[in-house]
């Protein structure tokens, strides 16, 4: 008979109606899947009770292998074995050069913006590689739960941008998974500890994995986690601890130049020693094949790794400074990632924040567990759970207006999902199209923000400048993905775009963008003032030139025309300069010298109108 | 006759209760629905009702309403594994037929 689980009071579901849901931690080094059963969130193991699935995919002649077996392939067939694919998610071919890593893969030449890795089984994209990992986890969950998953929550780093999030979602879709939502990894860890149910406060999530370090400062505000600051190092983790121990052995044993095989053995030995030192005060290390034996005690180990841990502490300090906080404002410190098992890490982190870090939940599994809790709620298995956890936009979203200025539509830290609309108008008479340039960032100038997408609204009916009404709507869904729509309100012509930008931000860029916006606040304001005046000048010049061409000869005598042309010339010249005040003055001057002309034009229009013409044909541009 | 638990089932119920942090015990019951008559109910209990019957076996309180008891009298609750899946089983002497998946039954 079927195997039953215990439900919350009154929530037994009808047979065959269970909504099975899982949380997936799609990691750089390892991935995990977790589910909530009988009120308990647990990660799931494979047939050998292995919970961690190495995020490695091997493309072999006989098929696609994922996990431990693929890891074995890495040594013999590095070109066809793909590891750490997460680093390439949502990155464009352009970004690969910036990543700088000596990636061992052969990239297929293509004009596509998405990089393709050449393997024995054809060219694959990062999305496809990730989908293979997700498929294995999905299968594991479905076998364990005894049914198909109705949906999953997949975690992503807090600093992942729209492109990286979309790529992650695409990978899940490719694997046939329904994504309830993406969840920030630090938020998932906080949920696993139930911090979302605690009072409002600020929490630090310290995540030291195998190859990466992330620190996130989260602010819980009315049940919503806001990311206040992130920081870290994409090339610092437990693997570096292993390298240091291996180096120590090399020195101690007097090994001159280890070959690849010995190097691997040294790393394995180092790793084992590191793990033993978590429990023991000292450990014997022996390399039988070269006849060496030694002893490493915790004190010695600490001395080796201290500089690395100090680096993480510096990143923590920086993140706090970015968030404008001191350590005593931090409520809880959550430890995530296998390397936080190292006692010295806990000690130094505890010392820095001045409190005992939370370590009760297995740091390898805590993110997946939080995701599972969230998935269970989203699947509708906990109807009385009133808090639907929300996220916020990490950076402001807006569009480019005249003069290369940014008009923010959705400010940063707005809780999502959200939709905001704003009306814009045309700049020139008879303008029939409008370019919508979607940007992300905190700066006032488009050039300093990140370009997300561009599209054009065409078919605007001919109208004088400023008469058209174009509503631009920004919509961010629960996964932080952006849709932008522009609609002309009289004829209802529409154009829209889903933002899937071709390249991403590097890890610390969000933090840097925020910092830059603070540092350049004053410059930005000045620039904005200048650009606004320049745009205004351009508009005035445009309108006046059009008017002069139309009726200047009839309404002005040579002397008057010369005066106006001179003022116009003065404005043109000042508009090219960088003195906002001077431009403003010349605009005023020009307007003054044109007063009588404007008046004559008005009279002339009225006169003409009385002569049986339609007034609209003579509508005077506003000054 | 009574409702009993195997040691494995009792251990799991206790550990789930401990994990949940509250609850008197576990409710067993039946409800009408499903593809073959009745379906089993298994829920945590925070508060027992007046018409509930409470059994205790292996230190676990089993709470059951009188109507369900008619269908479940003599049932042994077991905990087992099938491949990667694991969960509770009702060894119900009253059940005559089960639907293919065993989620519902008739007597």
Q: What is the pLDDT of residue B97?
A: 65
Query: Is residue A558's pLDDT more than 90?
Result: no
Answer whether B103 touches A (CB < 8 Å). Answer: yes
Answer whether B56 touches A (CB < 8 Å). Answer: no
Q: What is the pLDDT of residue B99?
A: 59
Query: Is residue A265's pLDDT more than 80?
Result: yes
Domain ranges, residue B38: 4-106
Among the partner-chain residues B20, B39, B87, the one whose CB lies closest to the CB of A15 is B39
Answer whether B80 touches A (CB < 8 Å). Answer: yes
Q: What is the pLDDT of residue A198?
A: 80
Half-sphere exposure of B82 (CA within 13 A, CB side): 12
Query: Is residue B76's pLDDT more than 50?
Result: yes
The b/e string for A57-89 (b: 16+ C-beta within 10 A; e otherwise) is: bbbbeeebbbbeebbebbeeeeebbbbbbbbbb
A428 assigned to active site: no
Number of domains within chain B: 1
For residues A283-294, give the mean pLDDT.
87
**Nearest-Cα residue of chain B relative to residue A35:** B85
Q: In this predicted model, what pLDDT tens digit does every residue of A428-459 receive, in sequence order?
A: 888 888 888 988 887 778 888 888 878 888 88
Answer whether A6 touches B (CB < 8 Å). Answer: yes
Q: What is the pLDDT of residue A480?
A: 67
For residues A92-118, give the mean pLDDT.
70
- What was the ipTM of the complex prediction? 0.73
Among the partner-chain residues A12, A140, A145, the one whose CB lies closest to the CB of B42 is A12
Q: In this predicted model, what pLDDT tens digit does every residue of A325-355 receive, in sequence order?
A: 999 999 999 999 999 999 999 999 999 999 9
Query: Is residue B103's pLDDT more than 60?
Result: no
CA atoms of A383 and A3, how far apart (whole Å): 23
Among the partner-chain residues B26, B34, B98, the one whose CB lies closest to the CB of A1 is B98
Average pLDDT, chain A: 83
Q: What is the pLDDT of residue A512?
A: 67
Query: Is residue A188's pLDDT more than 80?
Result: yes
Q: In this predicted model, what pLDDT tens digit does every residue of A128-166 receive, in sequence order?
A: 999 999 999 999 999 988 888 989 999 998 888 778 888
> pLDDT category, B34, cuts 50, 70, 90?
very low
Query: Is residue B36's pLDDT more than 80?
Result: no
Contact between chains at A15 and B27 (C-beta distance less than 8 A): no
What distance in Å separates residue B12's CA from the closest CA in chain A?
Answer: 10
Chain B residues with CB under 8 Å of A38 CB are 12, 16
Q: In this predicted model, what pLDDT tens digit does every residue of A215-243 receive, in sequence order?
A: 999 988 777 788 888 888 888 889 899 99
Can you spell out the DSSP letters for chain B? ---EE-HHHHHHHHHHHHHHT--SEEEEEEEE-STTSEEEEEEEESS--TTEEEEEETTEEEEEEHHHHHHHTT-EEEEEEETTEEEEEEE-TT--EE-TTSSEEE-
Chain B residues with CB under 8 Å of A12 CB are 31, 39, 41-43
Query: Is residue A43's pLDDT more than 90?
Result: yes
Task: Give the least confident one: A17-21, A274-278, A369-373.
Answer: A17-21
A479 assigned to active site: no
Contacts of A156 by beta carbon, 8 Å cutoff, 6+ apart: A26, A164, A165, A168, A182, A183, A184, A185
**Nearest-Cα residue of chain A relative to residue B86:** A3
For residues A547-553, give the mean pLDDT.
81
- What CATH number did the domain enclosing B61 receive? 2.60.300.12
Q: What is the pLDDT of residue A333?
A: 96
Among the partner-chain residues A8, A143, A146, the one whose CB lies closest to the CB of B44 is A8
Q: What is the pLDDT of residue A504?
A: 46
Catalytic residue chosen out of the listed positions A25, A214, A376, A524: A25
Contact between chains at A3 and B33 (C-beta distance less than 8 A): no
Q: In this predicted model, what pLDDT tens digit does every residue of A486-544 receive, in sequence order?
A: 998 888 888 887 764 333 444 455 666 666 766 776 777 777 778 888 888 888 888 88
> pLDDT category, A385, cuts 50, 70, 90?
very low
- Percent pLDDT > 70 in chain A is 86
Q: What is the pLDDT of residue A100?
A: 54
A40 assigned to active site: no
Give the CA angle between residues A401, A406, A407 to the nearest 5°: 80
Query: Is residue A384's pLDDT more than 80?
Result: no
Among the partner-chain residues B19, B80, B86, the one whose CB lies closest to the CB of A39 is B19
Catalytic residue chosen out of the listed positions A185, A226, A322, A400: A185
A185 assigned to active site: yes
Catalytic residue chosen out of the listed positions A162, A196, A207, A214: A207
Angle at which helices A521-547 and A509-519 cross, to 10°: 70
Q: In this predicted model, what pLDDT tens digit does every residue of A590-601 receive, in sequence order?
A: 888 888 888 888
């Amino acid at each position: 008979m079927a195997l039953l689980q215990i439900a919350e009071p009154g929530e037994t579901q009808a047979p065959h109606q269970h909504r099975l849901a899982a949380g997936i931690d799609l990691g750089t080094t390892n991935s995990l899947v977790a589910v909530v059963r009988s009120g308990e969130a647990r990660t799931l193991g494979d047939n050998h009770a292995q919970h961690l699935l190495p995020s490695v995919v091997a493309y072999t002649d006989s098929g696609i292998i994922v996990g431990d077996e693929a890891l074995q392939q890495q040594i013999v067939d590095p070109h066809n074995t793909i590891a750490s694919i997460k680093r390439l998610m949502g990155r464009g071919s352009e970004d690969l050069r910036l990543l700088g890593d000596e990636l061992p893969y052969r990239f297929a030449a293509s004009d596509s913006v998405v990089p393709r890795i050449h393997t024995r089984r054809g060219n694959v994209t990062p999305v496809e590689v990730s989908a293979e990992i997700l498929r294995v986890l999905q299968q594991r969950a479905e076998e364990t739960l005894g049914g198909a998953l109705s949906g999953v929550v997949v975690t992503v780093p807090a600093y992942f941008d729209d492109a990286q999030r979309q790529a992650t979602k695409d990978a899940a879709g490719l694997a046939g998974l329904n994504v309830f939502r993406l969840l920030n990894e630090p938020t998932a860890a906080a949920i696993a500890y139930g911090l979302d149910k605690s009072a409002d406060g600020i929490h630090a999530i310290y995540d030291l994995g195998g190859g990466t370090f992330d620190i996130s400062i989260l602010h819980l505000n009315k049940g919503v986690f806001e990311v206040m600051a992130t920081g870290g190092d994409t090339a610092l983790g437990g693997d570096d601890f292993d390298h240091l121990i291996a180096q120590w052995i090399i020195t101690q044993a007097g090994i001159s130049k280890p070959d690849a095989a010995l190097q691997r053995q040294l790393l394995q030995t180092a790793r084992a020693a590191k793990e033993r030192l978590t429990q023991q005060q000292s450990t014997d290390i022996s390399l039988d094949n070269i006849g060496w034996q030694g002893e490493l005690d915790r004190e010695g180990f600490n001395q080796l790794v201290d500089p690395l841990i100090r680096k993480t502490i510096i990143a923590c300090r920086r993140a706090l400074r970015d968030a404008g906080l001191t350590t005593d404002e931090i409520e809880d410190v959550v430890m995530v990632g296998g390397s936080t098992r190292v006692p010295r890490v806990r000690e130094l982190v505890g010392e820095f924040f001045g409190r005992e870090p939370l370590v009760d939940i297995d740091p390898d599994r805590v993110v997946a567990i939080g995701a599972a809790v969230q998935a269970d709620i989203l699947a509708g298995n906990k109807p009385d759970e009133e808090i639907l956890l929300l996220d916020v936009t990490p950076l402001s979203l807006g569009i480019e207006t005249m003069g290369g200025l940014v008009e923010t539509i959705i400010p940063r830290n707005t809780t999502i999902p959200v939709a905001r609309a704003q009306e814009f108008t045309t700049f020139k008479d008879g303008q029939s199209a409008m370019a919508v340039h979607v940007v992300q960032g905190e700066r006032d100038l488009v050039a300093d923000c990140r370009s997300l997408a561009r599209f054009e609204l065409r078919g605007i009916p001919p109208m004088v400048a400023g008469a058209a009404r174009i509503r631009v709507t920004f919509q961010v869904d629960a996964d932080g993905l952006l849709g932008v729509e522009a609609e002309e309100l009289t004829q209802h012509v529409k154009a829209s775009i889903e933002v899937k930008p071709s390249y991403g931000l590097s890890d610390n860029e969000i933090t840097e963008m925020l910092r830059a916006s603070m540092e350049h606040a004053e410059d930005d304001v000045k620039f904005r003032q200048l650009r606004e005046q320049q745009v205004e000048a351009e508009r005035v010049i445009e309108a006046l030139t059009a008017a002069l061409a139309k009726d200047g000869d009839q309404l002005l005598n040579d002397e008057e025309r010369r005066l106006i042309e001179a003022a116009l010339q003065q404005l043109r010249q000042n508009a090219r300069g960088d003195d906002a005040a001077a431009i403003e003055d010349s605009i005023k001057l020009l307007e003054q010298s044109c007063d009588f002309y404007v008046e004559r034009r008005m009279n002339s229009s009225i006169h003409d109108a009385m002569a049986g013409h339609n007034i609209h044909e003579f509508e005077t541009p506003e000054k | 006759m009574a409702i009993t638990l195997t040691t494995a089932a009792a251990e799991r119920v206790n550990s789930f209760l401990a994990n949940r942090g509250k609850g008197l015990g576990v409710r067993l019951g039946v409800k009408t629905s499903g593809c073959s008559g009745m379906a089993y109910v298994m829920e945590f209990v925070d508060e027992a009702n007046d018409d509930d019957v409470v059994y205790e076996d292996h230190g676990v309180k089993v709470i059951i309403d009188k109507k369900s008891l008619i269908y479940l009298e003599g049932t042994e609750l077991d905990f087992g594994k099938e491949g990667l899946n694991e969960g509770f089983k009702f060894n119900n002497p009253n059940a005559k037929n089960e639907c293919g998946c065993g989620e519902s039954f008739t007597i």
